[in-house]
């Protein structure tokens, strides 16, 4: 019910929020202090500075002992005092900045004392840099508060209730953990069905690098089968959304809130892992390890298909490719000026950057999100460049050099816009351009080794190379056709393809 009515808007919480501040999970603070005490003994050999933790932990242990020495049950426990939650951000709170109260006073100083009361002159510069770096990390953490939705906050509360149940009734711990994992799976799958790229959701077999990994595909396939086998109804959103426009980046704020709230839930599951491993029976730990390796570890990978629904629309690829093919590439003189289509691509990315900056004013856009978005932008640009260059029918050596000039101009400007020097797809484009200069014997082996390019792109490259004679060109073209046929047969006969075809036939027969 929560997920079907979720508006995927940010649930404002303070930047200092942790799940231990939830009333349902506050009982775990005693567990954490007990672990802290044991770690302190290992590393320092003393209990200094943890007297309060010892007393609180001892009191907690004493309370549980009374369950077995009296007629009380675990459910008769009453809180000594009601704990009021106070972690929601009010209208007056600034989500982008907090006070410096949680920063250690020594990190605010202009210098670090060495314990003698005087500034440390030996390593003062290094210490100052370290303190300022730590302060920068703290500010970055505060500037990006947890991204939560009403539904994800509800799921966290359920986690607390489940953890409480396991701590009181250990014999049913495995059943409770199973329910926790199913609750997370349902949230995971709902975000996928609601926001992932339509083609991936409809036919995961056609995934491409950068859109979905094989590991994520396996996880989604497993969740689909389990939910269908259990008869669980999953909300399927309408195909059209009139509110999605280029100005709001096709509702990117909803996508950020949805996927980042899921990532946050996954991190809380990682936080709970040591506690779950202690409670679960040894014979059932394989299930827990499998859940973490197959589901939790793939959560961040879901960012790619979700954000791909936005980045795929940034460029008008058809217009850009037409601009590339309209240029005269069979030139005899090397030009020093890049072509206009490069400016068109850069202008679209500049507009994307400006709109993304506006979105960040009301939805936190973390560095991880920016990294994924600009990686996909770089991949999109690389695909556009290669597709455009492969559509050029006539080209000379000078024309190929002009292609390199255009792409280098793009890289220089794109690095400034995206604030990164690692542009995805750089080698992908440069390798394709430079293959034009390869001799015929080397080109033949090159075609076999570079399956990242489509058969059409490889054929157009071979047809544009002037140094090939008719016999050599025909030989390589035949080789490309053979490789394409083998690839088609391989995909058709693969277990995954057979499973997909069976599922499609089953759905078609059922509908008939």
What is the model's pTM? Answer: 0.74
What pLDDT is stored for residue 511 in this prediction?
A: 53
**How far apart, in whole angstroms, are the C-alpha atoms of residue 46 and residue 42?**
8
**How far apart, in whole angstroms, are the C-alpha atoms of residue 124 and residue 131?**
10
Residues near 68 by beta carbon (within 8 Å), at least 6 away in sequence: none
What confidence category does residue 143 fall into, taking pLDDT thresholds of 50, 70 and 90? low
Span of 116-120, 429-433, 485-489 with lowest mean pLDDT: 116-120
Residue with tokens 């994924």: 372
**How far apart, in whole angstroms, are the C-alpha atoms of residue 414 and residue 411?**
5
Span of 41-50, 92-101, 312-321, 473-482 with lowest mean pLDDT: 41-50
The 10s digit of each residue's pLDDT in 153-202 is: 999 999 999 998 888 888 899 999 999 999 999 999 999 988 987 545 44
DSSP assignments along 63-102, one per residue = HHHHHHHSS--GGG---SSPPPP--B--TT--TT---GGG
For residues 319-336, one letter each, b for 16 or more C-beta atoms within 10 angstroms of the residue's C-beta and e for the rest, the string is ebbebbeebebeeeeeee
Q: What is the DSSP secondary structure assignment for residue 436, as one 8-state letter?
A: G
- With a cut of 50, say whether residue 119 has pLDDT above it: no
What pLDDT is stored for residue 410 in this prediction?
A: 96
**Average pLDDT, stretch 27-43?**
49
Better pLDDT: 34 or 253: 253
- With a cut of 70, say whether residue 494 has pLDDT above it: no
- With a cut of 50, say whether residue 210 has pLDDT above it: no
**How far apart, in whole angstroms, are the C-alpha atoms of residue 469 and residue 163?**
73
What pLDDT is stored for residue 392 in this prediction?
A: 94
What pLDDT is stored for residue 334 in this prediction?
A: 82
Span of 126-135, 387-396, 418-427, 432-441 with lowest mean pLDDT: 126-135
Ranked by mean pLDDT, which of 245-259, 327-341, 343-357 comes out on top? 343-357
Structural domains present in the chain: 19-82+144-301 (no CATH), 308-484 (1.10.357)
Residue with tokens 């396939």: 221
Six-digit token string for 77? 């426990």
Six-digit token string for 271? 């936080």
What pLDDT is stored for residue 125 in this prediction?
A: 46
Better pLDDT: 508 or 36: 508
- With a cut of 80, say whether residue 416 has pLDDT above it: yes
Residue 448 contacts residue 455 (beta carbons within 8 Å): no
- With a cut of 50, say whether residue 418 has pLDDT above it: yes
Residue 343 contacts residue 410 (beta carbons within 8 Å): no
Ramachandran region of residue 151, left (φ > 0), alpha (ψ -120 to 50) or beta? Answer: alpha
**How far apart, in whole angstroms, are the C-alpha atoms of residue 164 and residue 129?**
44
Ramachandran region of residue 420, left (φ > 0), alpha (ψ -120 to 50) or beta? Answer: beta
Span of 118-122, 285-289, 329-333, 457-461 with lowest mean pLDDT: 118-122
**Average pLDDT, stretch 219-240?**
73
Six-digit token string for 439? 């001799």
Closest CA to 268 of 241, 235, 299, 240: 299
For residue 146, how many other CB atoms are within 10 A of its CB? Answer: 24
What confidence category does residue 429 fall into, taking pLDDT thresholds of 50, 70 and 90? very high
Residue 279 contacts residue 173 (beta carbons within 8 Å): yes
- With a cut of 70, say whether residue 260 has pLDDT above it: yes
Six-digit token string for 261? 């709230």
Better pLDDT: 509 or 179: 179
């Amino acid at each position: 019910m929560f997920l079907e009515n979720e508006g995927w808007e940010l649930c404002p919480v303070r930047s200092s929020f942790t799940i231990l501040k939830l009333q349902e999970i506050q009982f775990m603070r005693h567990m954490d202090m007990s672990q802290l005490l044991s770690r302190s003994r290992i590393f320092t050999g003393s209990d200094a500075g943890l007297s309060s933790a010892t007393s609180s932990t001892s009191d907690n242990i004493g309370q549980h002992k009374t369950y077995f020495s009296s007629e009380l049950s675990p459910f008769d426990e009453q809180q000594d005092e009601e704990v009021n939650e106070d972690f929601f951000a009010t209208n007056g709170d600034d989500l982008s900045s907090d006070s410096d109260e949680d920063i250690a006073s020594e990190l605010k100083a202009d210098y670090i004392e060495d314990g003698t009361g005087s500034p440390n002159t030996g390593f003062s510069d290094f210490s100052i840099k370290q303190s300022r770096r730590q302060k920068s990390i703290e500010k970055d953490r505060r500037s990006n508060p947890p991204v939560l939705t009403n539904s994800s906050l509800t799921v966290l509360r359920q986690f607390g209730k489940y953890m409480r149940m396991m701590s009181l009734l250990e014999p049913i711990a495995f059943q409770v953990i199973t329910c926790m994992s199913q609750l997370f799976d349902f949230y995971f799958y709902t975000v996928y069905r609601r926001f992932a790229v339509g083609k991936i959701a409809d036919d995961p077999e056609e995934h491409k690098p950068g859109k979905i990994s094989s590991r994520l595909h396996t996880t989604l396939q497993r969740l689909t089968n389990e939910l269908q086998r259990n008869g669980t109804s999953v909300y399927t959103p309408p195909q059209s959304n009139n509110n999605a426009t280029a100005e709001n980046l096709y509702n990117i704020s909803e996508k950020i809130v949805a996927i980042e709230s899921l990532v946050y839930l996954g991190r809380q599951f990682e936080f709970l892992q040591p506690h779950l491993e202690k409670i679960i029976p040894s014979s059932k730990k394989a299930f827990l390890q499998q859940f973490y390796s197959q589901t939790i570890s793939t959560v961040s990978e879901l960012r790619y298909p979700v954000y791909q629904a936005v980045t795929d629309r940034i460029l008008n690829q058809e217009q850009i490719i037409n601009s590339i093919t309209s240029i005269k590439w069979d030139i005899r003189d090397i030009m020093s000026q890049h072509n206009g289509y490069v400016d068109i691509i850069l202008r679209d990315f500049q507009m994307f950057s400006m709109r993304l900056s506006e979105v960040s004013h009301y939805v936190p856009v973390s560095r991880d999100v920016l990294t994924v978005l600009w990686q996909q932008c770089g991949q999109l640009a690389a695909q556009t460049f290669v597709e455009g260059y492969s559509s050029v029918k006539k080209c000379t050596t000078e024309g190929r050099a002009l292609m390199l000039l255009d792409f280098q101009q793009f890289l220089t400007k794109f690095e400034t816009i995206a604030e990164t020097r690692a542009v995805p797809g750089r080698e992908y484009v440069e390798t394709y351009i430079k293959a034009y200069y390869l001799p015929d014997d080397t080109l033949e082996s090159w075609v076999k080794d570079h399956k990242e390019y489509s058969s059409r792109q490889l054929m157009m490259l071979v047809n544009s190379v002037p140094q090939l004679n008719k016999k050599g060109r025909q030989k390589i073209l035949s080789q490309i056709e053979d490789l394409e046929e083998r690839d088609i047969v391989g995909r058709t006969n693969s277990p995954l393809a057979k499973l997909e075809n069976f599922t499609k036939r089953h759905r078609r027969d059922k509908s008939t």
